[in-house]
Amino acid sequence: MAVDLTMPVLVVDDYKTMVRIIRNLLKQIGFEDVDEAADGTEALTKLKERSYGLVISDWNMEPMTGYELLKRVRSDDALSAIPFIMITAEAKSENVIAAKKAGVSNYIVKPFNAQTLKGKIDTVFEA
């Protein structure tokens, strides 16, 4: 299944600069509809209001972490099928294992470029 570049993508990060970087990388890849949320709570609200084709979330956020957000998304029948890519600065194996158990679609370690992001997104949609 090819990636649909017209689908809305939700970027979740409490660090505005990171949101801007990810947004720019997504635009380089060809995505046009990029929305953002500053934390997991705001992301959940947006996910209930609108249908997204992909969520890209940072792990470390307050008050709700990306991991918490992932678990909430996966436990909600209306949202559970949305592909979810986690971004983190630290590639701790226990984090990767926890995220995989919680149902993460893919995992990206900072720093990364458009090529890495595109590869991870392509992998998610090939499954």
pLDDT-based confidence at residue 1 (cuts at 50, 70, 90):
low
Which of these, 121, 125, 126, lies nearest to 34 by C-alpha position?
121
| pLDDT recorded at residue 89 | 86
d(CA 52, CA 74): 14
* 50-107 residue pLDDT tens: 999 999 999 999 899 999 999 999 999 999 999 999 998 887 889 889 999 999 999 9
Q: Which domains does the chain have, with CATH numbers?
A: 9-126 (3.40.50.2300)
Asked whether 55 and 12 are in contact (CB, 8 A), the reply is yes
* 16-45 residue pLDDT tens: 999 999 999 999 999 999 999 999 999 999
Please tell me whether the overall predicted TM-score, pTM, comes out greater than 0.85 for this model: yes
| pLDDT recorded at residue 92 | 84
CB atoms within 10 A of CB 61: 23
d(CA 85, CA 59): 10
DSSP state of 79: T
Which of these, 17, 52, 49, lies nearest to 34 by C-alpha position?
52
